[in-house]
Structure 1
């Protein structure tokens, strides 16, 4: 399972207005962007297999809030691994059906980690998109759909 398309990339153009973060990362060419994709793929390969489908779907989302949240989860998982923790994804907890993102264990210590990232509300995102679209349309910039 991978995040990005296996293809030859030739498009060096900057992100277009309205283009999702994933769509940009998946299409843009250049050695810098190859390194970004390779790093994300490496981190993803170390993620617990039972968590990969969910994180893959959110990383590929056209909603940048979902992509950024999934990236943060992937980043935290990698940080925990690099600090020497053994990590269990979505461990079961007694007395509740809720499952935190990670159980990290090291030197007899156990910590539960829930990845949370701040993002604008749906109302704010829709309003901002409408205002930005009007501004770009007035200036004659192309739109990405």
Structure 2
């Protein structure tokens, strides 16, 4: 295929679409977006195509390949980069993968206003490991459970074999509103709870909420940011790392632990973790705060989106977490249309400033 023809390719296939069901837990995000005939999904495809059309030709082929990947992490990473590019060109000029002369490194984006360099931006996605057996449980219950109210499913521990789906289905079907059931077999621990809320969605989905409760999501987020810290950019230009956290298992306390280190109070010689944030001392093991004080000073801040997806991108705003020890500061107002707040360290208190 000649280069000119490949550049004219769209992200999605030109096919007839008559699949009207919601996305199953199993299967790739791109596959679903590509085959669905639903009107809301058609609008999402149109938005992505419009964004893709604006992307520089030099980088389109690789981006398209990644967007179409069956690996959700790869596909969502490409989509997040495309999303940010289209948001940033609303206000600024954006250079993709600029070469840093001193190091030969190529960060994802350089944000400029004319000839003025405003900041460098690195982009990544942090998500939980996907397990096909978990998807099978969700899809099986959604399809077969004879219940009138929504179920809540909590995944505590993943086993190595497929769960006994019929056993789960029978026990869940016997639940009364407010009742619960815990499946424990072959390494699996899954909690089910019957709510008092009647099922009202057109697809008749039974599981109103499913989420994972196991340790490690915050560690993965920290590793993602640390890898981006290794990128070397010009020392006199602000440097931001943008992260899309695709996980229900991570909350604001986890973000605080990752960036500043865990909070603690001293009591009877023991270290006790706090359930809330906002004051107190810190265990010095964070991205911003280490044993010797402030660290990773080359990072101006971390721009965090939480569960940003193609179907909710118009509704989600980011939070900018400023590095208190940054050598080169960035003004949060520079991103005022993209964020709804920023966080700063004031003394020993972390403050949220709403825009």
Please report the TM-score for the alignment, with normalisation by the length of structure 2: 0.35
- Structure having the higher strand fraction is 2
CA distance in 1, matches of 2:41, 2:106: 34
Count of aligned pairs between the two proteins: 135
Report matched runs for 1:1-145 at 5 Å.
1-83=9-91, 85-106=92-113, 108-110=115-117, 111-120=119-128, 124-125=129-130, 128-133=131-136, 136=140, 138-139=164-165
CA displacement, residues 99-145 of structure 1 (integer Å, 9 cap, x when unaligned): 1111121154312111122123xxx33xx3234446747447xxxxx
- Structure having the higher helix fraction is 1
Paired residues of 1:48 and 1:88 also in contact (CA < 8 A): no
CA distance in 2, matches of 1:132, 1:76: 29
Paired residues of 1:100 and 1:114 also in contact (CA < 8 A): yes
Q: Alpha carbon RMSD of aligned pairs, Å?
A: 2.2
Q: Which protein has the larger Cα radius of gyration, Structure 1 or Structure 2?
A: 2
Paired residues of 1:60 and 1:67 also in contact (CA < 8 A): yes
- Which blocks of at least 5 consecutive residues in structure 1 are unaligned? 141-145
CA distance in 1, matches of 2:39, 2:137: 34
Paired residues of 1:50 and 1:89 also in contact (CA < 8 A): no
CA distance in 2, matches of 1:97, 1:113: 16
CA displacement, residues 7-51 of structure 1 (integer Å, 9 cap, x when unaligned): 221111222342100000000002221111000000011112122
CA distance in 2, matches of 1:129, 1:24: 16
- Which blocks of at least 5 consecutive residues in structure 2 are unaligned? 1-8, 141-161, 167-355
Q: Which residue of 2 aligns with 1:143?
A: none
> Which structure would you say has the larger RCO, counting Cα contacts within 8 Å and 6 or more residues apart?
1
